[in-house]
Amino acid sequence: MYRSRGHLAVQGESPSLTELREILWTNRKPVGSVDQVWPKLYVGDESVARDKARLSSLGVTHVLNAAAGQCRINTGPRFYTDTEVVYHGVEAPDHPEFDLRPFFSSAARFIDSGKVLVHCAMGVSRSGALVLAYLMIHQGLTLVEAITAVRLCRDIGPNSGFLEQLRQLDNAYSAV
Protein backbone atom coordinates (compact mmCIF):
# COMPACT_ATOMS: atom_id res chain seq x y z
CA MET A 1 0.00 0.00 0.00
CA TYR A 2 1.25 3.47 -0.85
CA ARG A 3 1.72 5.69 2.20
CA SER A 4 1.85 9.44 1.93
CA ARG A 5 4.39 10.58 4.47
CA GLY A 6 4.22 14.28 3.58
CA HIS A 7 6.68 16.54 5.38
CA LEU A 8 7.68 13.74 7.75
CA ALA A 9 9.49 11.88 4.97
CA VAL A 10 12.23 14.49 5.18
CA GLN A 11 12.23 14.73 8.96
CA GLY A 12 11.90 10.98 9.43
CA GLU A 13 10.16 11.25 12.78
CA SER A 14 6.74 12.10 14.11
CA PRO A 15 6.38 15.43 15.95
CA SER A 16 6.93 15.47 19.71
CA LEU A 17 4.09 14.91 22.17
CA THR A 18 4.15 18.64 22.95
CA GLU A 19 3.76 19.52 19.27
CA LEU A 20 0.97 16.95 18.82
CA ARG A 21 -0.87 18.26 21.89
CA GLU A 22 -0.64 21.77 20.46
CA ILE A 23 -2.26 20.58 17.22
CA LEU A 24 -4.99 18.77 19.18
CA TRP A 25 -5.74 21.52 21.68
CA THR A 26 -5.57 24.64 19.47
CA ASN A 27 -8.89 26.16 18.37
CA ARG A 28 -11.05 23.57 20.14
CA LYS A 29 -14.78 23.51 19.58
CA PRO A 30 -17.54 21.94 21.67
CA VAL A 31 -17.89 18.20 21.07
CA GLY A 32 -21.28 16.95 19.93
CA SER A 33 -22.67 13.47 20.46
CA VAL A 34 -21.57 12.24 16.99
CA ASP A 35 -19.69 13.54 13.97
CA GLN A 36 -18.76 12.06 10.61
CA VAL A 37 -14.96 12.33 10.40
CA TRP A 38 -14.27 10.37 7.21
CA PRO A 39 -16.51 8.76 4.60
CA LYS A 40 -18.46 5.94 6.30
CA LEU A 41 -16.82 6.74 9.66
CA TYR A 42 -18.40 8.41 12.69
CA VAL A 43 -16.96 9.17 16.10
CA GLY A 44 -19.39 9.53 18.96
CA ASP A 45 -20.16 9.12 22.60
CA GLU A 46 -22.03 6.52 24.64
CA SER A 47 -25.45 8.12 24.07
CA VAL A 48 -25.26 7.57 20.31
CA ALA A 49 -24.12 3.96 20.73
CA ARG A 50 -27.21 3.30 22.86
CA ASP A 51 -29.60 5.08 20.46
CA LYS A 52 -30.51 2.39 17.92
CA ALA A 53 -32.87 4.71 16.04
CA ARG A 54 -30.09 7.28 15.63
CA LEU A 55 -27.66 4.60 14.43
CA SER A 56 -30.24 3.48 11.88
CA SER A 57 -30.86 7.04 10.68
CA LEU A 58 -27.11 7.49 10.18
CA GLY A 59 -26.94 4.22 8.24
CA VAL A 60 -24.43 2.73 10.69
CA THR A 61 -23.79 -0.96 10.01
CA HIS A 62 -20.93 -1.51 12.48
CA VAL A 63 -20.22 -0.30 16.02
CA LEU A 64 -16.75 -0.30 17.53
CA ASN A 65 -16.97 0.20 21.29
CA ALA A 66 -13.56 1.39 22.55
CA ALA A 67 -14.83 1.27 26.14
CA ALA A 68 -16.27 -2.23 26.24
CA GLY A 69 -16.70 -4.37 29.31
CA GLN A 70 -18.79 -4.76 32.44
CA CYS A 71 -17.33 -1.75 34.23
CA ARG A 72 -17.48 0.61 31.28
CA ILE A 73 -20.02 0.79 28.44
CA ASN A 74 -21.50 -2.67 28.42
CA THR A 75 -23.52 -2.67 25.21
CA GLY A 76 -21.96 -5.74 23.64
CA PRO A 77 -23.26 -7.82 20.73
CA ARG A 78 -26.45 -8.79 22.60
CA PHE A 79 -27.48 -5.14 22.84
CA TYR A 80 -27.68 -4.99 19.03
CA THR A 81 -29.38 -8.37 18.38
CA ASP A 82 -32.60 -6.70 17.24
CA THR A 83 -30.67 -4.71 14.60
CA GLU A 84 -28.39 -5.49 11.67
CA VAL A 85 -25.45 -3.83 13.46
CA VAL A 86 -22.17 -5.77 13.66
CA TYR A 87 -20.41 -5.17 16.97
CA HIS A 88 -16.75 -5.16 18.00
CA GLY A 89 -15.57 -4.31 21.49
CA VAL A 90 -12.20 -3.21 22.83
CA GLU A 91 -11.83 -3.29 26.62
CA ALA A 92 -9.66 -0.21 27.05
CA PRO A 93 -9.54 2.03 30.09
CA ASP A 94 -8.83 5.67 29.28
CA HIS A 95 -5.54 5.56 31.12
CA PRO A 96 -2.13 6.68 29.75
CA GLU A 97 -0.47 3.46 30.94
CA PHE A 98 -2.89 1.21 29.05
CA ASP A 99 -1.32 -0.31 25.92
CA LEU A 100 -3.80 0.26 23.10
CA ARG A 101 -1.33 -0.80 20.36
CA PRO A 102 -2.40 -4.47 20.29
CA PHE A 103 -5.86 -3.29 19.19
CA PHE A 104 -4.77 -0.92 16.40
CA SER A 105 -4.77 -3.47 13.56
CA SER A 106 -7.96 -5.35 14.47
CA ALA A 107 -9.84 -2.09 15.09
CA ALA A 108 -8.59 -0.69 11.77
CA ARG A 109 -9.75 -3.82 9.91
CA PHE A 110 -13.15 -3.58 11.59
CA ILE A 111 -13.50 0.13 10.74
CA ASP A 112 -12.68 -0.69 7.13
CA SER A 113 -15.59 -3.19 6.94
CA GLY A 114 -18.69 -0.99 6.89
CA LYS A 115 -20.31 2.29 7.89
CA VAL A 116 -18.94 2.51 11.40
CA LEU A 117 -19.56 4.35 14.64
CA VAL A 118 -16.46 4.31 16.84
CA HIS A 119 -17.31 5.36 20.35
CA CYS A 120 -16.14 5.42 23.93
CA ALA A 121 -17.68 7.29 26.85
CA MET A 122 -17.26 10.78 25.40
CA GLY A 123 -15.91 10.10 21.90
CA VAL A 124 -12.63 11.89 22.55
CA SER A 125 -9.68 9.78 23.76
CA ARG A 126 -10.02 6.02 23.15
CA SER A 127 -12.22 6.30 20.08
CA GLY A 128 -10.10 9.16 18.76
CA ALA A 129 -6.93 7.08 19.11
CA LEU A 130 -8.42 4.08 17.28
CA VAL A 131 -9.73 6.27 14.44
CA LEU A 132 -6.31 7.92 14.05
CA ALA A 133 -4.67 4.47 13.92
CA TYR A 134 -7.17 3.42 11.22
CA LEU A 135 -6.41 6.51 9.11
CA MET A 136 -2.69 5.79 9.40
CA ILE A 137 -2.90 2.05 8.73
CA HIS A 138 -5.62 1.87 6.06
CA GLN A 139 -5.67 5.34 4.54
CA GLY A 140 -1.91 6.00 4.50
CA LEU A 141 -2.02 9.25 6.45
CA THR A 142 0.69 10.45 8.79
CA LEU A 143 -0.33 11.08 12.38
CA VAL A 144 -0.44 14.84 11.78
CA GLU A 145 -2.50 14.37 8.60
CA ALA A 146 -4.91 12.05 10.46
CA ILE A 147 -5.32 14.49 13.36
CA THR A 148 -5.88 17.36 10.94
CA ALA A 149 -8.48 15.40 8.95
CA VAL A 150 -10.46 14.34 12.03
CA ARG A 151 -10.31 17.77 13.66
CA LEU A 152 -12.01 19.30 10.62
CA CYS A 153 -15.17 17.60 11.91
CA ARG A 154 -14.60 16.68 15.57
CA ASP A 155 -12.34 17.62 18.43
CA ILE A 156 -10.56 14.57 19.73
CA GLY A 157 -7.93 14.26 22.42
CA PRO A 158 -6.21 10.91 22.92
CA ASN A 159 -4.54 10.81 26.33
CA SER A 160 -0.75 11.22 26.45
CA GLY A 161 -0.10 7.47 26.55
CA PHE A 162 -2.29 6.79 23.51
CA LEU A 163 -0.71 9.73 21.70
CA GLU A 164 2.77 8.32 22.34
CA GLN A 165 1.64 4.93 21.03
CA LEU A 166 0.33 6.63 17.88
CA ARG A 167 3.69 8.42 17.52
CA GLN A 168 5.40 5.03 17.66
CA LEU A 169 3.05 3.73 14.95
CA ASP A 170 3.78 6.82 12.86
CA ASN A 171 7.53 6.41 13.32
CA ALA A 172 7.32 2.73 12.40
CA TYR A 173 5.62 3.61 9.12
CA SER A 174 8.02 6.46 8.39
CA ALA A 175 10.94 4.03 8.82
CA VAL A 176 9.52 1.79 6.05
The predicted-structure confidence for 47-59, as pLDDT tens digits, reads as follows: 999 999 999 999 9
Is-contact 169 104, C-beta < 8 A?
A: yes
pLDDT score at 78: 92
What whole-number distance in Å separates Cα of residue 173 and Cα of residue 13?
Answer: 10
The domain spans of the chain are 35-174
Summarised one tens digit per residue, pLDDT across range 115-143 is 999 999 999 999 999 999 999 999 999 99
Residue 130 to residue 109: CA distance in whole angstroms: 11
Task: Flag whether pLDDT at 39 surpasses 70.
Answer: yes
Q: Is residue 71 pLDDT above 80, yes or no?
A: no
pLDDT reading at 86 higher than 70 = yes
Q: Which of 64, 116, 120, 147 is catalytic?
A: 120
Q: How far apart are CA 176 and CA 113, in angstroms?
A: 26
Question: 3 φ, ψ to 5°?
Answer: -120, 120
Distance CA 147, CA 135 (A): 9
Contacting residues for 112 by C-beta, under 8 A, at least 6 apart: 134, 138
Residue 120 known to be catalytic: yes
**35-174: CATH superfamily:** Protein tyrosine phosphatase superfamily (3.90.190.10)
Whether residue 176 is predicted with pLDDT greater than 50 in this model: the reply is: yes
Tell me the pTM: 0.90
